[in-house]
Structure 1
Amino acid sequence: MSGSPRFRWSTVCLEALDGPALASFYRELLGWRVKAQEPDWVLLAPPDGGPGLSFQSDPGFVRPAWPTRPGEQQLMMHLDIEVDDLDASSARAVELGATVADFQPQDDVRVHFDPAGHPFCLWVSA
């Protein structure tokens, strides 16, 4: 082998008590397709290609706290999802099982929690 090995980002994996159920939520929300599936793991792929999202069941999963609070499960990451209509997109996310966070730090961003409790942000560009 000569030179450096090749690295290519392929997915971000979110854990939940029920990975396949969480994958169903994001499949409906984003309109992505199931690319691969095992009993406790699902990979979603965007229609235009690029990195996907995978979801894995973890019986020890604990919902993160947001905003962060001392002594509670810390947030490791969140998803930012650009939308063209913040109100309509928020309503669709809620229809699919998301909840709107009480704390909203910006006017052009709407923070939600997916059914497993991961925060995600819907946002519109100015």
Structure 2
Amino acid sequence: MLDAPELARFYLRLLPGWGVWRGEDGPDWVHIRPPDGGTGLSFQTEPGYRPPVWPSEPGRPRMMMHLDIEVDDLERETARAVAAGARPAGHQPQDHVRVLLDPAGHPFCLYTESPRRAPQ
């Protein structure tokens, strides 16, 4: 089961300053937004939810979303995400990226700017 309030609480811990926004979608929905009121995230409770498999495998549930969150200190923010309830994915494809799974099993990435693209 995907528990919308639980997943929203995780992302509120992960995204400092964000808050809950109450829409008119009913009790199965929770919306969170950044402090400036910009684009937010919405979560819907789903009793029949099956977590995605990442990397994807034929015939298995695929990821429905993927967030990439830029951070200044990859190790510190990875530790903070794990303390908030994330867990590291088994496959880590790049040195400047950490793939983590949220409590519902959705993959998301924390990353620092790639050394190859860094300003000179």
| TM-score, L = length of structure 2 | 0.87
Deviation at 1:76, TM superposition (A): 2.7
Map 1:35-54 onto structure 2 (within 5 A): 35-36=21-22, 38-54=26-42
The structure with the greater share of residues assigned to strand is 1
- Paired residue type of 2:62: Q
Matched, 1:26 2:14: no
Q: Work out the CA distance in 2 between the residues paired with 1:58 and 1:77.
A: 15
Q: Work out the CA distance in 1 between the residues paired with 2:38 and 2:65.
A: 19
> Which residue matches 1:13?
none
Q: Work out the CA distance in 1 between the residues paired with 2:71 and 2:102.
A: 16
Helix, strand or coil at the partner of 2:68: strand
Q: Give the aligned CA root-mean-square deviation in angstroms.
A: 1.3
Q: Deviations over 1:15-58 (max 9, x none)?
A: x6201100000011102111116532111010133210011101
Helix, strand or coil at the partner of 1:95: helix
Number of residue pairs the alignment of both structures matches: 111
**Structure 1: which 5+ runs fail to align?**
1-15
Would you identify which runs of 4 or more consecutive aligned residues in structure 1 move more than 3 Å?
Answer: none
Q: Work out the CA distance in 1 between the residues paired with 2:72 and 2:9.
A: 22
